[in-house]
Amino acid sequence: MLLDGRVAIVTGAGRGVGRAYALMLAKHGAKVLVNDLGSSAAGVGEDQTPAEEVVSEIRGFGGEAAVNTSDVSEWAGAQSMIDQAVEAFGGLDILINNAGILRDRMLVNMSEEEWDSVIKVHLKGTFAPTHHAANYWRLRQKGGHEVDARVINTTSHSALFANIGQSNYAAAKGGIATFTQVAARELQRYGVTVNAIAPRANTRMTEGLREYTEEQLAKRDPEWIAALVTWLASAESKNISGRVFESWGYGYAVMESWQHGPQTEASRDPGELGDRIRQIVRFARANAGIDRNTWLEP
């Protein structure tokens, strides 16, 4: 029971990896607020049924859970979600920002609405709940209470390795990875750790992208990811913060962020730069492209 007595919010918890997170957190003793609008993968429509089904399943094995259908990308909705967790369960210890949508399209064909909607759900939908949760923890800490809280965000290998056709999604998820690092530095003074997961799982958002063998599908079961998320949500992870983890059944990897590469002297004359820039680019490591990133997968 890694999470006995702890209170968690999981956004986008009605299906896929979010559902797996909510169930495993509850099995390890957490009281879980299951947030989900119940929209399609493209963010269309609303349906409370997926969240209700997860709550029913948790209660079925003796856990405690409640439904929340707030839009996490709306400021007031994010605040009401935090308030509900505190009122229903007496506090808040864990926030897992998982909600997301897809509107894939090549850059030249992407509409303004397709860009804005994805950025809002992913990026603002991570910032707004984290903002309100962080203020709750800050006030607790300033009130003399011990805080040992967790924020776990969701980035994507599509952002980290630059998948074509997803400039909106990749920009949002890349922003979340950096947001995670900044938030970790800012919130450590309040007893809050902040990490991110780049999950690789077979869900409705990835179905049909490629064919998998039964063995590969088994390695893409969301439970592999839920195990790491559950551990990161526990007291055992207290000294780990500001990290991004790639996660699936083949293993877990710590992603290494931007590093300083080859350097050259500066010049006020652009005519002197050609050979210098070409040389440092030649000695720099190539970007880790998604097509070449087959880490541990046969």
CA dist 78 and 69 (Å) reads 10
For 66-86, how does the pLDDT look when each residue is reduced to its tens digit (9 = 90+)? 999 999 999 999 999 999 999
The two tokens of residue 74 are 């709306």
The two tokens of residue 162 are 């630059």
Unique residue bearing structure tokens 């902040």: 194
- pLDDT averaged over the chain? 92
CA dist 85 and 92 (Å) reads 6
Instruction: State the catalytic residues.
Output: 156, 169, 173
Closest CA to 15 of 43, 42, 53, 45: 53
pTM of the model: 0.91
- DSSP-derived 3-state class of residue 32: strand
User: Contact at 8 Å (CB) between 51 and 14?
Assistant: yes
- Given this model, what pLDDT does residue 73 score? 97
Please give the angle made by the CA atoms of 4, 184 and 187, to the nearest 5 degrees: 75
For 114-158, how does the pLDDT look when each residue is reduced to its tens digit (9 = 90+)? 999 999 999 999 999 999 999 999 999 999 999 999 999 999 989
For 226-277, how does the pLDDT look when each residue is reduced to its tens digit (9 = 90+)? 999 999 999 999 999 999 999 999 999 999 988 999 999 999 999 999 999 9
Closest CA to 10 of 50, 45, 62: 50
User: Residue ranges of the alpha helices (H) in the chain?
Assistant: 16-27, 49-60, 75-89, 112-119, 125-142, 157-160, 167-187, 214-219, 222-232, 273-283
Strand bridging mode 192-199 / 149-154: parallel
Mean pLDDT for the stretch of residues 190-206: 85
pLDDT for 293 beyond 80:
no
Unique residue bearing structure tokens 């029971």: 1
For 212-231, how does the pLDDT look when each residue is reduced to its tens digit (9 = 90+)? 677 878 888 999 999 999 99
Q: The domain 7-259 is classified under which CATH number: 3.20.20.150, 3.40.50.2000, 3.30.70.141, 3.40.50.720? A: 3.40.50.720
For 15-74, how does the pLDDT look when each residue is reduced to its tens digit (9 = 90+)? 999 999 999 999 999 999 999 987 555 555 567 899 999 999 999 999 999 999 999 999
How many whole angstroms from its chain centre is CA 222?
14
For 160-195, how does the pLDDT look when each residue is reduced to its tens digit (9 = 90+)? 999 999 999 999 999 999 999 999 999 999 999 999
Confidence band for 298, pLDDT divided at 50, 70 and 90: very low
**Other beta carbons within 10 Å of 188:** 13
